[in-house]
Amino acid sequence: MQTFKAFLITKDDSGQKSAWTNISLTDLMPGDVTVRVTHTTINYKDGLALTGKAPVVRRWPMIPGIDFAGDVVSSDSPDYKAGDKVILNGWGVGETHMGGYAQLARVKSDWLVPLPAGITAAEAMALGTAGYTAMLSILALEAHGITPVSGPVLVTGAAGGVGSVATAVLAGLGYKVIASTGRPAEADYLTSLGATEIIERSSLSGTPRPLGKERWAGVVDSVGSTTLANAISQTMYGGCVAACGLAQGMDLPSSVAPFILRGVTLAGIDSVMAPKARRLAAWSRLARDVDKNRLAALTTTLPLTEVERLGPEILAGKVRGRVVLTVD
């Protein structure tokens, strides 16, 4: 392949621009493994990069796309050979290193994870960073001793990517899931994923009290800000809150009361730079614990050419569940 298609974003004094462009391997950044991208996806961070609504991209020009799955074309690493199926999530790809919205990607071998047995490349991108982040959050709850008998688990932003996967996986593991959403029309969708109770986002949007009524043993929060503060204040004694997103904001108008008086743990979840051992553990569990039927129910498949349209939609909360983008 002498040249290949890539979605390239550039920036000048007039602002950010984007276009499908023919580029060659010499235009890519250094790396010891070249991958033919077969599938990718769109996350909230990708939406920020595509629209320029936040300074996600820090190198220009840039091919966005923080996730991809595909087949190794060539490798200078002993860890991979041509034909191996691999996944990439994070590591600054799509931000400072050219990403997955192209037919080919060249990256460092340390950033890759072998595609686990039992899932396809399309299913891996149906999970993507959202699913991988959801599993990291579930692993944090488990490490803190939160089990199905501990009590319910609250999932905020439940109709989004992280929330949908977290709801489906937790329900499959036997947890009672309380799903919080600002989209009441998605109640049936969330119930189909296994949620046993749906609460309005507005119930977590008021001024947080230092301590509220104890309602849940664990929380998977992708929202941040006031929602996270209210979730913390209503966590049961000895509970754990996994904070993995900031869709509502980066602030946290909380108090130390839940941590001191109830022994609540706030576990920060970083998916971008998580060490490889943690990534392998998360993907192994995803391959084992994800119900394929529920994954299919929360997934929409579109061609990569739709990605520019999807950027503003995911920021506006109009994208339900997960989107797999197929690469020709």
Tens digit of pLDDT for each residue in 83-117? 999 999 999 999 999 999 999 999 999 999 999 99
What is the average pLDDT score of the chain? 96
How does residue 1 score in pLDDT terms, banded at 50, 70 and 90? low
Which pLDDT value is given to residue 43? 92
For residue 253, pLDDT beyond 90:
yes
C-alpha dist (Å) from residue 319 to 63, 111, 153, 186, 239: 22, 28, 23, 11, 31
Q: In this structure, what DSSP letter does residue 144 have?
A: T
Q: Where are the domains of the chain?
A: 4-115+298-326, 129-268
Q: In this structure, what DSSP letter does residue 305 have?
A: G
Q: How far apart are CA 179 and CA 114, in angstroms?
A: 32
- According to DSSP, the residues that pair with 88 across neighbouring strands are 68, 112
Q: What is the pTM of this model?
A: 0.93
114, two tokens: 């072998």
pLDDT in tens, 23-48: 999 999 999 999 999 999 999 999 99
Q: How far apart are CA 89 and CA 66, in angstroms?
A: 6
How does residue 291 score in pLDDT terms, banded at 50, 70 and 90? very high
Determine the length of the chain. 328
pLDDT in tens, 309-323: 999 999 998 999 999
For residue 179, pLDDT beyond 80:
yes
Percentage of the chain modeled with pLDDT above 70: 100
> Are the C-beta atoms of residues 242 and 265 closer than 8 Å to each other?
no
Chosen CATH of 4-115+298-326 out of 3.90.180.10, 3.60.15.10, 3.30.450.40, 3.40.50.1360:
3.90.180.10
Q: How far apart are CA 320 and CA 306, in angstroms?
A: 15
C-alpha dist (Å) from residue 207 to 225, 228, 304: 11, 11, 41
> Are the C-beta atoms of residues 45 and 309 closer than 8 Å to each other?
no
Percentage of the chain modeled with pLDDT above 90: 98
Q: How far apart are CA 69 and CA 124, in angstroms?
A: 7
Q: How far apart are CA 242 and CA 265, in angstroms?
A: 8
Q: Which helix (DSSP H) or strand (DSSP E) does residue 143 occupy?
A: helix 121-143
| Angle at which helices 307-315 and 44-51 cross, to 10° | 110
Query: Which backbone phi and psi does 272 adopt, to 5 degrees?
Result: -70, -50
CATH number of the structural domain 129-268 = 3.40.50.720
Residue with tokens 């060490």: 275
Q: How far apart are CA 88 and CA 129, in angstroms?
A: 9
For residue 208, pLDDT beyond 90:
yes
Please tell me whether residue 55 adopts helix, strand or coil conformation. coil
C-alpha dist (Å) from residue 260 to 233, 239, 263: 11, 12, 5
Residue with tokens 């996806």: 41
166, two tokens: 């977290």
Q: Measured on CA atoms in the order 163, 281, 57, 43, is the torsion positive or negative?
A: negative
Please tell me whether residue 302 adopts helix, strand or coil conformation. strand
- Which residues lie below 8 Å from residue 147, measured CB to CB, with a gap of 6+? none
Which pLDDT value is given to residue 25? 94
Residue with tokens 């913390």: 232
What's the distance, CA 71 to chain centroid?
22
The residue ranges of DSSP E strands in the chain, in sequence order, are: 4-12, 15-23, 33-41, 67-75, 85-89, 104-107, 112-114, 153-155, 177-181, 197-200, 216-221, 235-243, 265-268, 299-303, 322-326
